[in-house]
Structure 1
Amino acid sequence: MSDNKQIAKELIEAVGGRENIHSVAHCATRLRFMIHDKEKIDQERVENTDKVKGAFFNSGQYQIILGTGTVNRIYEEVDKLGINSTDKSEQSKEAAKEKNTFQRAIRTLGDVFVPIIPVLVATGLFMGLRGLVMQEQILALFGMTPADISENFLLFTEILTDTAFIFLPALVAWSTFRVFGGTPIIGLVLGLMLVSPALPNAWEVATEAEPLYFLGFIPVVGYQGAVLPAFFAGIIGAKLERAIRKRVPEALDLIITPFLTLLVMIAAALFIIGPIFHTVEEYILQGTLFVLDLPFGIAGFLIGALNQIIVITGVHHIFNLLEIQLLEKFGNNPYNAIVTSAVAAQGGAALAVGLKTKSIKLKALALPSSLSAFLGITEPAIFGVNLRYVTPFVMGLIGGGVGGFAASLLGIKGTGMAITVIPGTLLYLNGQILQYILVNIIAIGTAFVLTWLFGYSDKKLKDVETA
């Protein structure tokens, strides 16, 4: 504890002291400072502080990489020292003032979808486990065949794997209301209305059922698994709720505001927003499939090579929407297998640096950073090691491209999203585990060999230290 307290003091001094800090927050791996004057930051002192794996400006915040677990403890010490702390969402709003319109839109998309991802991760793991236990080879170990599996057991697995996607509009509308300043419970109910059992089920309409027709030409169906209709209904609904609340007497607010908000928004969502954005969603999905289906592994190479560049820019949250669509429509996610290669390769590059360097400090930074990447978190490896010496990062991009190329050729597809490399193995238990391991070995091995041979020598360490 005393070590963390000392580190907190050093970091406060290194970023220009208390008077230079507007606020501080943290995420899973980084301490995030809002700074008054960037010129007062001593970058070298920050990076040389114990347990720091890198530091950089992004999204209007000075972000110091500390790693999972460590960041929580050091944040507590910073908070105890009386620094103005705030939560990440509040700080993101402040930071958003410094972004352009596109960056703000992507950040908003991330703020909406990131809280939903843990549920989708769990659903993906359930899909993987079901795929594992239903394999004939696994059942044979217990003297069983697929015919021996009871209908009740299959029903239980369907509850685990289907529920999140059936009620996905409710999750999206809830989160969108929360982000845009509405009452989340109103958003939740609006989303549930979009999947009401009274409406024709969207999946059944896609096969044999007929939609309802209002005014003779407006098709109305449930929106099971839909994202964009709930997202835009949530944005408009939250703004409508706030507008109504400003005009309704306080004594009637509890009754009138939710009543009018839900009445207007369910009509708009079913008759206007839903049909329009469900069509847009289908075009986005078809565009995604077109790219992923490019021949000769082209898509895998391009996505694998460019993914970590996109992560650095902070606009990678837009791909959450695409992954959710793939999982909802097909129950699998080829994008995850490609992205895994990009993540693993950065870990391979950092591992090569850590094993090749004679610097004790760089070893102590690079080796744990590579492990972090193999657990799916690349920021320590990228910002702490690879990007600092440039060529390891480039070799990691090449490794990601080669691994992604292999993933596309092998046609492997995860059962979920958001977890990669070692944790990601749980998404490939449905007969794809060997191919998945091979893809990771290819990505790591390519990046490691290229970095060892061409990407790093201790001369770079001296160049960076004297720069």
Structure 2
Amino acid sequence: MTNKELAKQILDYVGKDNVSAVTHCITRLRFTLLDETKVDTEKIKALDGVLGVQNKAGQYQVILGNKVGKVFNDLQEILPPDLTVASAGEGKPADKQNKNWFAKLMETLSSILIPSLPPIIGGGMIKGFLFTFWYFGWIEWGSNGFEILNLISDCMFYFYPFLLAVSAAKRFKTNEYMALALAGALMYPTIINGLGGESAGLSLFGIISLPFIDYSSSVIPIIFSVWILSYVYRFFVQKIPDLLSTIFTPMLTLFIMVPIQLAILAPLGFYAGEYVAAGINWLLQLSPAIAGFIIGATRPFLVFTGTHHAMRVIVQQQISSFGGTTIGAMNYMSVFAQATAPLAVYFVSRSRKMKDLSLSAAVSGYLGVTEPALYSVILKYKIVLIATAVGGGVGGMITSIFGAAEYAMVMSSILTIPATIGEGFIGIVIGIPVTIAVTFLIVFFGRKSIQAQDAQEN
């Protein structure tokens, strides 16, 4: 089945007139539907190329793996022309009113963070290659070539508030360009250059203090600010006559929002993020072994439930606050466990179909995309899921004990290991082979259950 045929079949079973909005992440099509009861889920699951289906946080998700981008492009060609891929239409998900606050929070974070992933993934991979070239002496630190590659790989992280401003504006249904103006205020040279100077900040009317804080690479301040912007901007749009609204709505919004943002909202979001990062670090220091095992072992379940994107906020905040993320190092171990599990299945399974599928999933997993492995292999066999959790947990425990960290926001993969070079790197050196060995051995010793399940299915 071609990608175009697959896109058409999925849309037929979802219902062309049932789609309110659609987007995609690394491996999934994400539909917002008018009525989820109209979807023929079983037929979608049976399609060749579909790895699974989930209904999470108000989104109907079709898991396709690495081909999702191509299928999405073909899907756009057959969608109604008035349907946008950026925000939901007038219809609401069927379970919208039944979601608790945590589900709503996860949905909000996912809808804001996921659209910003393409440049983040691209920059992270380039950053990994850059560290690799430097580590092996192929490029000199600080040379022209190094600085150019560093610029390419780092610009999206430094100006992260701008990326989040766009997706946050779409999520909160407000003007994207006004949101970008708020991001510009956070990154304005006066604010950035004022850091470390004699003055702690600016003063508005001698009453309101606007502190100098480095908001580059921050997450919470801009999301918080755009959320409040959506109410302020909407208020003026509704209250000011149409004839004057074009001029006075943006003027009054900026006049009110920028001081409030720089004086209250952004500092509040910044320090909230700092305290969250400090709290996570405190828990990790309290019992590194237990914390490392739990984080390394539960990563597959976070991916499965779609809540792993929420961890990106904490990971980014750790890097911004401390220069590195210990959670990122633990995620490496889980990635290697999720990649090794299908590789082990390749050697123990007697099913030709599972061998082909597991080998492909393993290669993808070692390159950082683990969802094909998770949905097509790991969740299929109970012993493989146990092996993945235990292997990732043991590896995470080792990295935590040695204080290993990830020093750049990269996509965890075999190519980006140099991004973990620094204090505690020995934890990565020991953790990866141990993770691979533990995961492989558990699958090997449980091979009879895998073979029996394959035989039963055949």
Contact 1:347–1:371 (CA under 8 A) maintained in structure 2: yes
Pairing 1:383-394 to 2, within 5 Å after superposition? 383-394=375-386
TM-score by length of 1: 0.81
**TM-score normalised per structure 2:** 0.82
* Secondary structure, aligned partner of 1:69: helix
Quick one: which amino acid aligns to residue 249 of structure 1?
A: P
Deviations 1:292-316 (A, max 9, x none): 3344533221100111212222222
- Are residues 35 and 210 of structure 1, via their aligned partners in 2, closer, same or farther at CA, if it must alter by over 3 Å? closer
Secondary structure, in 3 states, of the residue corresponding to 2:61?
Answer: strand
Taking a change above 3 Å as real, the CA distance of residues 192 and 9 of structure 1, as seen in their structure-2 partners, is closer
Post-superposition CA distance 1:204-247 (Å, at most 9, x none): 26xx7533456878542233234333221111012211221122
Q: Which residues of structure 2 form unaligned runs of 5+?
A: none
Work out the CA distance in 1 between the residues paired with 2:262 and 2:220.
13
Between stretches 437-446 and 68-77, larger displacement belongs to 68-77
Give 3-state SS (helix, strand or coil) of 1:244's partner.
helix
Partner of 1:72: 70
Partner of 1:461: 454
Identity %: 28
Q: Residue 132 of structure 1 contacts residue 431 of structure 1 at CA under 8 Å; is this kept in 2?
A: no
- The one of 47, 72, 81 equivalent to 1:49 is 47
Verify the 8 A CA contact 2:21 2:88 in the aligned structure 1. no
Decide whether the 8 Å contact of 1:120 with 1:416 is kept in 2. Answer: no
**Which SS does the other structure have where 1:317 is aligned?**
helix
1:182–1:242: 8 Å Cα contact kept in structure 2? yes
Paired residues of 1:53 and 1:65 also in contact (CA < 8 A): yes
Q: Is the 8 A contact 1:54 1:380 kept in 2?
A: no
Task: Report deviation, 1:320.
Answer: 1.4
Deviation at 1:176, TM superposition (A): 2.3
- 2:200 alignment partner in structure 1: 210
| Deviation by residue 1:93-126 (Cα, 9 ceiling, x = unmatched) | 8447263321121221222233344445555566
* One-letter amino acid of the structure 2 residue matched with residue 366 of structure 1: S
Amino acid at match of 2:238: K
- Contact residue 342 and residue 399 of structure 1 kept, 8 A: yes
Which residue of the other structure, out of 57, 60, 74, is the alignment partner of 1:59? 57
Q: Does 1:244 align with 2:242?
A: no
User: Closer, same or farther in 2 for the Cα pair 1:83/1:378, shift >3 Å?
Assistant: farther
Superposed displacement of residue 48, structure 1:
4.4
Aligned to 1:113: 113
Deviation at 1:287, TM superposition (A): 0.4
Q: Contact conserved, 1:24 with 1:31, CA < 8 A, in 2?
A: no
Aligned runs of 1:261-280 on 2, under 5 Å? Answer: 261-280=253-272
SS in 1 for 2:55: strand
Cα distance change on mapping 1:261 and 1:285 into 2, 3 Å: same
1:398 aligns with 2:390: yes
Query: Any idea what the Cα deviations from partners look like across 1:393-428, whole Å, max 9, x if unmatched?
Result: 122111110111222233332232351122433524
Q: 1:437 deviation in Å? A: 5.8
Aligned equivalent of 1:224 = 214
Does the alignment pair 1:190 with 2:178? no
**Aligned-residue offset at 1:156:** 6.5
Cα separation, partners in 2 of 1:285 and 1:209, compared to 1, 3 Å: farther
8 Å contact kept, 2:342–2:373: yes
Distance 2:72 2:276 in 1: 42
The CA distance in 2 between the partners of 1:423 and 1:307, in whole Å, is 20
**Which segment drifts farther, 107-116 or 80-89?**
80-89
Question: Matches of 2:170 and 2:245 in 1, distance apart?
Answer: 19
Matches within 5 A, 1:280-429: 280-425=272-417, 427-428=419-420
Aligned CA RMSD, in angstroms, stands at: 3.9
SS of the residue aligned with 1:417?
Answer: coil
Alignment partners' CA distance in 2, 1:301 and 1:201? 41
CA separation of 1:283/1:56 partners in 2, compared to 1, >3 Å: closer, same or farther?
Answer: closer
| Alignment correspondent of 1:439 | 431
Displacement, 1:37?
Answer: 5.9
CA deviation map 1:343-393 (0-9, x unaligned) = 221222222223322222222332222222222222222222221323311
